[in-house]
């Protein structure tokens, strides 16, 4: 059978075993497409059915979360923890609170997390969890009651050597603190069971900034590898959450010009480039006041708000999608190509549709997949676990320098496995490098 036929055959079986899980199919197809030629050359992996086993989660825990609104009404949400693969270390991966969360979304995220964590070189397995709970419009007390109820079930399934959740969309420092408080109440002990904690109670310096900073560090390596510099590049960023805002901060520090930010309502075009003063305003707006990005445009001249639109029509050198999955489709990719984009560096997980990714590749646009370029967050989470285990705290400089060296290593691995005719296919490089390490471990463990 040809490689293409093998991929089609494998994907047919996977779709049959996991009907209707479209996001999961998309994530698996991307990885399988990269690794299949290499996999077919290795009979030992094939005999051990590594591909079939690695695409089946170790377990999925599904549970009900009941909670009470401020008015005394009862609500019930659904929550999951997908413990995908712990061949390389305790399960590790964020929790997402968003109405769009389904089992398929969490399986795609958990699957991606296996290879991302492998790429960091730290001992971490892959997992993801969350709930279809919508934190928007809820009071802090309601969010607290939800988090406490969720942890009342989740605590049985996690632990510092078992599974260590962190934040993701809708789960920031506030939610992690509520979850951690309830875990301690139930278990009566302090442990590094969650990462992304406040710095005064076991959190790591630079964890908040790590995903966004790491994305810019990766982007700089990718540009340098192809004889380009990051300074003076025009960068279009989507989102205005944790990843987007710290990517913007580091990009400004590197003298790049950030021209867009967005939220689910629309995007802002900052014609002269975002300043530190404006960024400070947006951080306060989003982190403290939980406001909308449209308010930013009202506050500053030269900032235009585009309702219900995505930022990809704005001319840029580098696009950094930092909001959510499949937020950049074929038409967006065409606009970016027409405007001369040279690189797309993913801050979010799987922000490109498969068709958009294919189009960029055909036009020679550099494309860093999230599992490589947004691995900075989980890398510093891994460092937070190490600090908790040793009961010490590293300085900001120490953590930042470790983060930079982990990102440099991930970039080098992508180059090693993705180098092709003077350029680097980062998608193939990241997938093969991440996959190989987990496959080797699974092979060594025998049939488990
Ligand atoms: P936040 O909740 O802090 O921010 C999410 C941002 O994306 C908000 O601006 C939000 O707008 C926007 N957004 C969310 N859903 C949609 C949508 N359907 N359409 C348009 N905009 C949307 O999340 P994070 O910044 O933490 O996460 C962003 C991405 O980065 C996710 O893909 C996540 O998995 C990934 N990631 C995060 C890591 C982390 O450390 N936090 C680590 C690695 C990856 P609004 O407020 O209007 O909803």
Which pTM value belongs to this model?
0.98
Nearest ligand 1 atom to the CA of 374 is: 43
Residues in the chain: 448
| 240 CB within 6 A, ligand 1 | yes
Atom 15 (ligand 1) nearest CA: 324
| 206 CB within 6 A, ligand 1 | no
Q: Please identify every residue annotated as catalytic.
A: 128
Please give the C-alpha separations between residue 322 and each of 129, 148, 251, in angstroms, as whole numbers: 19, 29, 13
Q: How far is the CA of 264 from the centre of ligand 1 (A)?
A: 10
CA–CA distance, 420 with 137 (Å, rounded to integer): 49
Answer yes or no: do 50 and 66 share one domain.
Answer: no
Which pLDDT value is given to residue 421?
A: 87
Does some domain include residue 357?
yes
Nearest ligand 1 atom to the CA of 196 is: 40
Answer yes or no: do 145 and 271 share one domain.
Answer: no
Answer yes or no: do 91 and 177 share one domain.
Answer: yes
> CATH number for the domain including 350?
3.40.50.720
What is the residue range of 292's domain?
210-373
| 243 CB within 6 A, ligand 1 | yes
What does the block give as tokens for 417?
Answer: 């496995």
Answer yes or no: do 285 and 177 share one domain.
Answer: no
Which pLDDT value is given to residue 72?
A: 98
| 208 CB within 6 A, ligand 1 | no
Query: In this structure, are residues 427 and 34 in contact, taking their beta carbons and an 8 Å threshold?
Result: yes
Tens digits of pLDDT across the chain (448 residues)? 899 999 999 999 999 999 999 999 999 999 999 999 999 999 999 999 999 999 999 999 999 999 999 999 999 999 999 999 999 999 999 999 999 999 999 999 999 999 999 999 999 999 999 999 999 999 999 999 999 999 999 999 999 999 999 999 999 999 999 999 999 999 999 999 999 999 999 999 999 999 999 999 999 999 999 999 999 999 999 999 999 999 999 999 999 999 999 999 999 999 999 999 999 999 999 999 999 999 999 999 999 999 999 999 999 999 999 999 999 999 999 999 999 999 999 999 999 999 999 999 999 999 999 999 999 999 999 999 999 999 999 999 999 999 999 999 999 999 999 998 889 999 999 999 999 999 999 999 999 9
Which pLDDT value is given to residue 422?
A: 87
Q: Which long-range contacts (CB under 8 A, 24 or more apart) does 300-304 make?
A: 302/270, 302/271, 302/272, 303/268, 303/269, 303/270, 303/271, 303/278, 304/268, 304/269, 304/271
What does the block give as tokens for 369?
Answer: 């997949």
Answer yes or no: do 354 and 227 share one domain.
Answer: yes
Atom 48 (ligand 1) nearest CA: 264
Answer yes or no: do 8 and 138 share one domain.
Answer: no
| 260 CB within 6 A, ligand 1 | no
Atom 38 (ligand 1) nearest CA: 168
128 three-state secondary structure:
strand
Atom 28 (ligand 1) nearest CA: 323
């Amino acid at each position: 059978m040809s490689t293409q036929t093998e991929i089609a055959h494998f994907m047919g079986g996977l779709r049959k075993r996991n009907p209707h899980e479209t996001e999961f199919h998309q994530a698996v197809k991307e990885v399988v497409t990269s690794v299949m030629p290499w996999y077919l050359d290795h009979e030992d992996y094939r005999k051990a059915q590594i591909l079939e086993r690695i695409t089946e989660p170790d377990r999925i825990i599904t549970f009900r979360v009941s909670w009470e609104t401020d008015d005394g009404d009862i609500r019930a949400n659904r929550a999951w923890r997908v413990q995908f693969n712990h061949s390389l270390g305790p399960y590790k991966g964020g929790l997402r609170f968003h109405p769009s969360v389904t089992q398929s979304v969490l399986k795609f995220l958990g699957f991606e997390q296996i290879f991302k964590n492998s790429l960091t070189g730290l001992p971490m397995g892959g997992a993801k969890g969350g709930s279809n709970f919508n934190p928007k419009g809820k009071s802090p007390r309601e969010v607290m009651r939800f988090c406490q109820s969720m942890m009342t079930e989740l605590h049985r399934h996690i632990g510092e050597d078992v599974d260590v959740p962190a934040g993701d969309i809708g789960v920031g420092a506030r939610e992690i603190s509520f979850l951690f408080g309830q875990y301690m109440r139930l278990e009566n002990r302090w442990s590094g069971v969650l990462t992304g904690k406040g710095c005064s109670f076991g959190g790591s310096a630079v964890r908040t900034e790590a995903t966004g900073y790491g994305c810019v560090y990766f982007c700089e390596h990718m540009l340098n590898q192809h004889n380009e510099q990051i300074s003076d590049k025009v960068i279009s960023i989507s989102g205005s959450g944790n990843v987007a805002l710290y990517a913007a901060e580091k990009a400004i520090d590197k003298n790049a010009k950030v021209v867009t930010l967005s939220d689910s309502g629309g995007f802002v075009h900052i014609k002269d480039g975002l300043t530190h003063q404006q960024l400070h305003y947006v951080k306060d707006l989003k982190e403290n006041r939980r406001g909308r990005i449209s308010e930013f445009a009202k506050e500053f001249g030269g900032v235009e708000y585009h309702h219900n639109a995505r930022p990809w029509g704005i001319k840029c050198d580098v696009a950094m999608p930092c909001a959510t999955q499949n937020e950049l489709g074929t038409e967006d990719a065409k606009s970016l190509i027409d405007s001369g984009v040279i690189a797309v560096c993913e801050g979010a997980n799987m922000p490109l549709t498969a068709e958009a990714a294919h189009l960029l590749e055909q036009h020679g646009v550099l494309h860093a997949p999230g599992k490589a370029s947004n691995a900075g967050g989980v890398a510093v989470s891994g460092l937070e676990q190490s600090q908790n285990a040793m009961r010490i705290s590293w300085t900001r400089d120490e953590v930042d320098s470790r983060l930079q060296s982990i990102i440099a290593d991930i970039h080098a691995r992508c180059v090693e496995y993705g180098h092709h005719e003077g350029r680097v296919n980062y998608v193939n490089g990241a997938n093969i490098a991440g996959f190989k390490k987990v496959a080797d471990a699974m092979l060594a463990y025998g049939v488990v």
